[in-house]
Amino acid sequence: MEKILDIIEAIAHEKNISKEHAIEAFKDALTNTAKKLTTFTSAFEVNIDEDTKTYSVNKVITVVADGDEQLMVEVGRDDNKEKIESDAFMPLSEAKEFDDSIEIGDQLKEEFILEEHGRTASANLFRELEYHIQRRIEQDLFEKYREKVGSVMLGTVNRVDADDNTHVEIGELKGIMTLRNRIKGEKFKRGDSIRALLRYVSVDPQFGLFLELTRTSPKFLEALMASEVPEIADGVVEIVAAARIPGERAKIALKTEQMNVDPIGAAVGVKGVRINAVSEELNGENIDCIEYSAIPEIFITRALSPAITQSIKVDQDEKKAIISITGDQKAKAIGKSGINIRLASMLTGYTIELNEVEGVAERQVDSSDKTEAAKTTDTAALADLFK
């Protein structure tokens, strides 16, 4: 076993984990194997010399005061625990029998030679090493995908189970998208390629290490907008907030610090090509782009569009807005099944209350709708150009 470190390095390369993690797994395997061959209360340290590619295992006993609570350790299950003597500690009075100069805190070390325990040691070490290498692989994968939480993942549907959970293959791991994380009306079959937001990485007794995916989160809408709109990806246009009722309608608030950039125009794209691409990915979800304002009254009014409001009163402490609106605009403000006012409330963070008033709302006439100015027929002013 002298050159076993070469084998550990080869395993690290084969399993695609770092050399450091492979060595840590080897140390844990040696320690656990030594405990199995002695007692579980024993303490061991592993020393590795990377120059000579050798290792050594030492049993360590720490000297403590007589009567120290560490001399006894609890073993057994919660309902049947008992205390036994620990092999990892020794009382000072007993230690002085070996060496009178020993003090509290000193450590006695004895080399533990694994080879002396024959095939039992080899078999135990192999099982322990296999187990700890697998744990390091899972740990590396966990860290790798945890950094990707909040980003869009592309995967292939493997199957849909009886509970309508969609199982997706993503790289080295499996992703699971539950029914509540799927847009209403969506149906997937084996082999379909789908995009979804990575919510979190989890370890489950049934599924092991897996990724939880969602297509219903407002963050998924934001991530899709960033992938379709370069100005958002570059930070020129910022998404302040987003609200969704998945598969039906969404509102997204945008702002920019650059005067020459139109955040709404950038998000919508020429002839709506950008926003339509996002809507198509979201199963036809209608998306309203709203320009953000730091003034709550303006922001809430814009969030309620296409309804025209008459006046608004905002209580910033209570996060409540009372809006006066005419009868002909009330239905627009509420929307089908209350969807518009719900989204406006979700987007702004304010509870919105409508107060109906008499009258009919009039939208300001845009300058482009006015009658064109009369064209001049006098060409005298152009005469000098043709002299």
Going by their DSSP bridges, the two strands 54-64 and 89-91 should be labelled as: parallel
Say if residue 340's pLDDT is above 80.
Answer: yes
Give residue-wise pLDDT tens across range 155-200: 999 999 988 899 999 988 889 999 999 998 888 999 999 999 999 8
Centroid of chain to Cα 134? 23
Say if residue 321's pLDDT is above 70.
Answer: yes
CATH architecture of 150-214: Beta Barrel (2.40)
SS3 (DSSP) at 307:
coil
pLDDT classification of 223: cutoffs 50, 70, 90: very high
CATH architecture of 218-362: 2-Layer Sandwich (3.30)
pLDDT of residue 181: 93
Q: Convert 205-227 to b/e letters by CB count within 10 Å (16 or more is b).
A: eeeebbbbbbbbbbbbbbbbbbb
pLDDT, mean of residues 66-80: 77
Give residue-wise pLDDT tens across range 271-305: 999 999 999 999 999 999 999 999 999 999 999 99
pLDDT of residue 13: 85
Tokens representing 148 are 């990707």
Give residue-wise pLDDT tens across range 99-124: 888 889 888 888 888 888 888 888 98
pLDDT classification of 351: cutoffs 50, 70, 90: very high
Domain 4-145: assigned CATH number: 3.30.1480
pLDDT of residue 198: 94
pLDDT, mean of residues 205-226: 89
| Cβ-contact 138, 107 below 8 angstroms | no
Centroid of chain to Cα 211? 9
Going by their DSSP bridges, the two strands 249-256 and 286-291 should be labelled as: parallel
User: Regarding predicted confidence, which is higher, 145 or 360?
Assistant: 145
Distance CA 281, CA 194 (A): 9
pLDDT, mean of residues 335-357: 93
Q: Which residues, other chains included, contact 336 with Cβ-Cβ below 8 Å and sequence gap of 6+?
A: none
pLDDT of residue 358: 81
Determine how many CB atoms are found less than 10 A away from the CB of residue 19. 14
Tokens representing 132 are 């700890």
Provide the whole-model pTM: 0.70
Query: Omega before 218 cis (within 30°)?
Result: no
Domain ranges (residues) in the chain: 4-145, 150-214, 218-362
pLDDT of residue 249: 95
Q: What share of the chain is helix, strand, coil (3-state, %, to 5)?
A: 40, 30, 30
Measured CA to CA in angstroms, residue 381 lies from 96, 112, 245 at distances of: 118, 108, 60
Averaged confidence pLDDT in the chain: 86
Say if residue 36's pLDDT is above 50.
Answer: yes
Q: What is the DSSP string of 224-242?
A: HHHHH-HHHHTTSEEEEEE
